[in-house]
Amino acid sequence: MTVRAWQRQFLTSVSALSVEVGMPPSILRVFAWMIVCEPVEQSAEQLRDALALSAGSVSAATTMLVRAGMVERARRPGERRLYYRVRDDAWEQVLRQRIEATSHLRSIADTVLARAPGDQHRLRDMRSFYASMEKVLRAGVRKP
Query: In angstroms, what is the minimal distance from the CB of 127 to DNA?
Result: 25
CB 74 within 8 A of CB 82: yes
Q: Which does 21 bind (CB under 5 to 8 A by kind): a copy of itself, DNA, none?
A: a copy of itself
Is 18 in contact with 32 (CB distance < 8 Å)?
no
**Which of 1, 40, 55, 74 is in the footprint of a copy of itself by CB under 8 A?**
40
Q: How far apart are CA 91 and CA 35, in angstroms?
A: 12
With CB cut-offs between 5 and 8 Å by kind, which of DNA, a copy of itself, none does residue 69 bind? none
The partner in contact with residue 39, picked from a copy of itself, DNA, none with C-beta cut-offs of 5 to 8 angstroms by kind, is: none
Provide the binding-site residues for DNA, judged by CB under 7 A.
19, 23-27, 43-45, 52-60, 62-63, 75, 77-82
Interaction residues for a copy of itself, span 92-111 (CB under 8 A): 94-95, 101, 104-105, 108, 111
CA distances from residue 132 to 42, 99, 107, 122 in whole angstroms, order as listed = 40, 11, 13, 16
CA end-to-end span of the chain: 40
